Amino acid sequence: MLSKYQWQYTNHLDENVSEDGLGFSQLTARLLHARGITDPTELEQFFNPTLAHLHDPFLLNDMAKAVMRIEQAISNGEVILIYGDYDADGMTSASVLKEALDELGAEVLTYLPNRFTDGYGPNQEVYQYYIENENVNLIITVDNGVAGFEAIEYAMGCSVDVIVTDHHSLPKELPNAFAIIHPEHSSADYPFKHLAGVGVAYKLASALLGEAPIDALDLVAIGTIADMVPLTGENRTLVMLGLAQMKLTEREGLLALLKLSGVDLKDLSEEDVAFQISPRLNALGRLDDPNSAIELLSGFDEGALELAQMFDDKNTERKALVQAMLAEAMAMIDLKDDVHVLAKADWHPGVLGIVAGNIVEATGKPTILLTIQDGIAKGSARSVEALDLFQAMDLHRELFIAFGGHAGAAGMTLAEENISQLKAALEGYVSEQEIDLSQKASLVIDEILELSEISIDLIREINRLSPFGMANPKPVFAISNVRTSLVRAIGANQEHLKLKITDDINELSVIAFNQGKQKDLLGQLKGFDIAGTLSIHSWNAQTNPQLMMNDFAVNGVQILDVRSKTEALPEEADYLIFDEKLKQQFSKVHQVSLKKTAGVDSLVIVDVPSAPDDLASFLVANDYQLIYFKNMIVRPKYLNGVGTRGQFASLFKLIRQYPLIDVRHKLSGMAQFLKIEQELLVDMIKIFEELGFVSIKSGVMQAVESPEKHAIESSKIYQKRKEAVEIESFFALEDVRTIYQKLTENIGEKQE
């Protein structure tokens, strides 16, 4: 299949699963079984979670100890510092705990570190400032801390207790903090291990208040969705209750942000949080000081619109930075490389990871983006399933000043002079380990549907499985053997597509994000498979089913007409070129000859062959699935034909009238006088010379007296031109599917 992903059809959707007792269709019942939700108790919690389904916060390690110390601080009037993080999880974590401490009458300060000056996690200089200048007596970390050894050791050495609340991977050794609250801590067997940072902060707030604070659940939902933790178990409960609370929220800052984001509160979903709210919160942490997030999220007073507007503006700025950097980075890429390592002075460090991810998405290759300043390169890396990037870099720690991460993503700092060595090391690792980077990422298909099965009722039923996220992904459905009845580019830069697909009886609307370049391809495909998620689209009081496309796959050979198209041709394709000048013009693409077998699934036939049978043999011998006919004609003859009898007679008459003509200087005048295109006139003169009607010496054409009679059609030049005109006309004017069919049928008959 010519597809972006490797489609994997699930075999665990047992056709024999019954909907009896579940109150769902068989499809939804199978989806529930695939997610391991079969027990009546599990079903009840899955669909109707309550606060009673939340676990006792005192089951967490050191919770009782932490609550006792905080209560002591409140009682003694000690100043408490909440130290958070610069992302949406850290922002909401700090806000949730601050509200709880404010309610208890605590003297509380908050600080979210600046990623550019403070870095991630506990910062000793910041701790020192607050201890010396703000008389802080107790520090509580949220969404960070388990790796903050030096800063925590410093604070504890100053007789300032540090309570760590975190959810990130636990190191082998833990810092010497007063208390560490972490769902995976080995000293306590907390029933749910996958809380986000805000989930852990909410647990501490609940323990302090003696009950789970309902008003804080909206912030808990935002942080949990933003941090992409599994939306199962306790996280699912927190998010479902939090989304319900968000629809009732009185937070003026949050309401203003929702309004600016274009979110309709009555239809609020986890997707609105993930794609509208979270990016706006994260944008501030990527580009600027994040501390105003506390004021925005905790603000219940009017007048928050200006602050929300600042967040929205930062998100717009972030998008512009990403697009500009992406354009620069893509221009630097060599598609032949196994790993893209791209570096440039003064690239904004806050968006390097986003851009690297976009490049991986576009090229399917691991990518490292580095910004250079004063000889030091700092950057982010994103990888593909086939390459464990952390393992590859871990073998070359000597190249780095610092680096960390995991298989799919990493961050690093290194000297500028080591960049080329890093690239060589990674390329060498890929080669030595024989890693196949052509391997596509997986797309799990939950079910194959017919267009006739898709309805508003079905989508509403499937949506009861939401909120969707990690460990509870939105179901992906495939629809087979459809074609498009409408393809239209949408978006400010025509980067998206709106389609209608049909099986000739039923029709379904489709949105394809970032597929604008595929407009012509999708418009011409005949019989393809499409995969995506289902949603409901409402507009002008009309409600219709809609598919959000993830991928499409070609069935059989697809023939595409790009003869008059201005859109860019595919990069990942074989190019067949016959004209030598065109070969130079297309020097950056992968060119094949008629004697070479196919390299990929796609072929672009750039120009017109002089021997169509050779092209036909090549097409039959190679299993291309997508063939683009560009059919450029460098010096077209078919537009002027082979010359009529009248045109040849006019030329003959002119030659008899003017026996000597300097064709080097008079050719243009002759063409105008005879009303014959100059390109055709040149061949007509050559035909006359071949047949002995004229002689040409030193550019001067002289009529031959009493020449032998010859039919124009007997000229080899005439015959060759006639053949070229017929070939060019066939490739320029015939339907491309007919071209392919006639070529392959003819060669098949000849081979028989």
CA distance 277 to 315: 10
Please state the rounded mean pLDDT for residues 570-581: 90
- Statement: residue 182 has pLDDT above 80: yes
The tokens for 745 are: 């049928």
CA distance 525 to 23: 40
Per-residue pLDDT tens for 504-560?
999 999 999 989 888 888 888 888 999 999 999 988 878 999 999 999 998 788 899
Is the Cβ–Cβ distance between 628 and 570 less than 8 Å?
A: yes
CA distance 612 to 620: 12
* pLDDT value of residue 313: 96
Q: What DSSP element (H or E) covers 27?
A: helix 26-34
CA distance 510 to 449: 15
* Amino acid letter, residue 708: E
Per-residue pLDDT tens for 611-642?
999 999 999 888 888 899 999 998 999 999 99
Cα-based distances in Å from 118 to 84, 125, 219: 12, 8, 25
Is the Cβ–Cβ distance between 412 and 381 less than 8 Å?
A: yes
The percent of residues above 70 in pLDDT, for the chain, comes to 97
- Measured over the CA atoms of residue 726, residue 729, residue 732 and residue 735, the dihedral's sign is negative
The tokens for 38 are: 């079969």
Domain 645-714 sits in CATH 1.10.10: yes
What three-state secondary structure class fits 37?
coil
State in words which class domain 53-247 has.
alpha beta
Per-residue pLDDT tens for 380-400?
999 998 999 889 998 999 999
- Statement: residue 111 has pLDDT above 80: yes
The tokens for 183 are: 């769902």
* pLDDT value of residue 751: 52
Cα-based distances in Å from 414 to 215, 352, 400, 683: 45, 15, 5, 65
CA distance 367 to 652: 68
* pLDDT value of residue 749: 54
Per-residue pLDDT tens for 6-53?
999 876 555 555 555 556 788 888 888 888 888 888 888 999 999 999
CA distance 328 to 344: 9
Per-residue pLDDT tens for 133-144?
999 999 999 999
- Interacting residues of 729 by C-beta distance below 8 A, sequence separation 6+: 638
- DSSP strand pairing (660-662 vs 700-703): antiparallel
How far does Cα 358 stand from its chain's mean position?
Answer: 5
pLDDT band at 404 (very low <50, low <70, confident <90, very high): confident
CA distance 264 to 247: 9
Q: Which sequence spans correspond to the domains of the chain?
A: 53-247, 339-432, 560-634+728-751, 645-714
Residue 338 main-chain phi, psi, to 5 deg: -80, -30
* pLDDT value of residue 358: 93
pLDDT band at 3 (very low <50, low <70, confident <90, very high): confident
* pLDDT value of residue 745: 86
CA distance 226 to 197: 11
Residue-wise burial string across 439-453, b where 16 or more C-beta atoms lie within 10 A, e elsewhere? ebeebebbbebebee
**Residue the block writes with tokens 């509870």:** 472
- Statement: residue 419 has pLDDT above 60: yes
* Amino acid letter, residue 263: V
* pLDDT value of residue 14: 56
* pLDDT value of residue 655: 94
How far does Cα 86 stand from its chain's mean position?
Answer: 24
State in words which class domain 339-432 has.
alpha beta
Is the Cβ–Cβ distance between 96 and 198 less than 8 Å?
A: yes
Tell me which range, 96-100, 442-446, 556-560, 746-750, is most confidently predicted by mean pLDDT.
96-100
The tokens for 614 are: 């050779």
The residue among 372, 380, 375 whose CA lies nearest residue 345 is: 372
The residue among 366, 367, 382, 378 whose CA lies nearest residue 415 is: 378
Mean pLDDT, the chain, whole residue set: 92
* pLDDT value of residue 710: 94
CA distance 426 to 414: 15
What three-state secondary structure class fits 167?
coil
Per-residue pLDDT tens for 641-660?
999 999 999 999 999 999 99
- Statement: residue 752 has pLDDT above 60: no
* pLDDT value of residue 566: 75
Please state the rounded mean pLDDT for residues 326-351: 94
Per-residue pLDDT tens for 184-205?
999 999 999 999 999 999 999 9
Per-residue pLDDT tens for 684-716?
999 999 999 999 999 999 999 999 999 999 999
* pLDDT value of residue 11: 61
CA distance 715 to 111: 90
Please state the rounded mean pLDDT for residues 277-304: 91
Q: Determine the Cα angle at 310 with ends 317 and 350, to 5°.
A: 40
Q: Determine the Cα angle at 97 with ends 94 and 99, to 5°.
A: 105
What three-state secondary structure class fits 422?
helix
Query: How many helical (H) and strand (E) elements, i.e. helices and strands, does the chain have?
Result: 26, 26
- DSSP strand pairing (179-181 vs 409-415): unpaired
- Statement: residue 491 has pLDDT above 70: yes
pTM score, whole prediction: 0.83
* Amino acid letter, residue 539: W
CA distance 277 to 140: 26
Residue 282 main-chain phi, psi, to 5 deg: -65, -30
